[in-house]
Amino acid sequence: MWDRLIVAGYWFVYIALELSILFLGISFLIGVLTTYVSPQKVERILSKYGKGLIGNMLGTLFGGILPFCSCSTIPALIGLLKVGIPFRIAMSFLIASPLGVLNAAVFSLFYVMFGAKVAISYIAVTFIGAVIAGFVLDRLGLKVQLKRVSVVGGHEEEPPAAPPRATLLGRVKPKLVSSWGFTKDLYLRMVPYLLIGVGIGAFIYGFVPDDLLATYAGPSNIFAVPIAAALGVPMYVRTETMIPLCYALFEKGMGLGTMMALIIGGAGISIPEMTLLSAIFKRKLLTAYILTVFIIATLTGYLFNAFGPLLMA
C-alpha cells in the first residue's frame, strides 16, 4: 500500500513540475510571438495560404512537428486563436500536436521498434485524421462554443513603443514584460485544472495494474480497439513514453491496432488536457473534441489490425 502511494506521489510531483515548466515556457514563447505578430498580419498570411485544405494542412503540420505534450499545447492553442488563426486550423493543430504527427522523436521510436511501414502509416493516418477533423468541427458550427479567456498582460493593446534610438534591450524589454504578464495570468488560471488532472492520473498510475490493459484489450476481443482508446485516456504520458510502453504490451500479445488506439487515446484525450480544455471549451465543443479523437483512435486501430500482418512483414 505504502509503495503504491510513494509511486503515485512521485509521479504526481514529477509530472506536475514537468508540465508546469513546459506550460510556462510555451506560454512565454507564444506571448513573445504575439507581441511581434499582429492579428492583421496573420489575417494577411492566412488569406494567401490558409484557405481550404492548405490551411488545415498547415495547422496540422505546425501542430504535429513541434515537440509539445498535450498540456503545453493549450497555451499555444490560445495564442493561435488570439492572433486570429481560423477555428478549423486551430482544431487541426490541437489534434495533431499531442499525437506527435511528423514529430521526429515519435517517428524514430516507431521506426526502431516497429519498422518503417508502421512509422510512415502512423504519420499518414494521424495527419489525415487531424486535417479532416478540423473541417468537421468547424462545419458543425462549434466555434461559438469557445469560452472567452481574458488574459491580463498587455496583449489586448500593443506594448509601449520604445524610443527610436533605444538599445536592443530597451526595445525588447517591453515585449518581454508584456509576455510574462500573459504567461503568469494564463498559468494561474490553468493550474487548478492541471493539478486536478495530474492527481487523478497519479492515482491511476500508482494503483491500476499494468496487466489490466493487456487483459481487456487483447486481440481476441472484438471490442479491444475502442476499449484501448478509452482506457488510454487516464494514463497521460507523452507519446514518446506511450510507444515503448505499448511495445511491451504488443510483445505480450496486444494487437497492433489495439496498441495504436491506446497511444492515440492516451495522448489525444488525456485527463490533464481535458481538464485544461474545459477552461476554454464549452461542454458541446469539449464533448465533440473527445468524440473526434476517440473516432480517430478507433478507426486507426481497426485499420492497423486489418493490415497489421502486411505492415509488420
What's the whole-number average pLDDT of the chain? 77
Say what the pLDDT of residue 37 is.
Answer: 60
Per-residue pLDDT tens for 263-300? 888 878 777 778 888 889 999 999 999 999 999 999 99
3-class secondary-structure state, position 184: helix
- Least confident range of 40-44, 124-128, 219-223, 227-231: 40-44
Report residue 69's pLDDT band, with 50, 70 and 90 as the boundaries. low
Evaluate whether 265 touches 293 at the Cβ level (below 8 Å).
yes
Report residue 77's pLDDT band, with 50, 70 and 90 as the boundaries. confident
Reply yes or no on whether the pLDDT at 172 is more than 80. no
In which domain, by residue range, is 80 found? 2-312
More confident residue, 156 or 236: 236
**DSSP 8-state secondary structure symbol assigned to residue 159:** P
Say what the pLDDT of residue 43 is.
Answer: 54
Evaluate whether 104 touches 29 at the Cβ level (below 8 Å).
no
pTM: 0.70
Domain count, the chain: 1
Say what the pLDDT of residue 296 is.
Answer: 94
Tell me the three cell numbers of residue 116.
Answer: 518503417
Per-residue pLDDT tens for 104-141? 667 877 888 888 999 999 999 999 999 999 999 999 99
d(C-alpha 28, C-alpha 76), whole Å? 10
Say what the pLDDT of residue 281 is.
Answer: 92
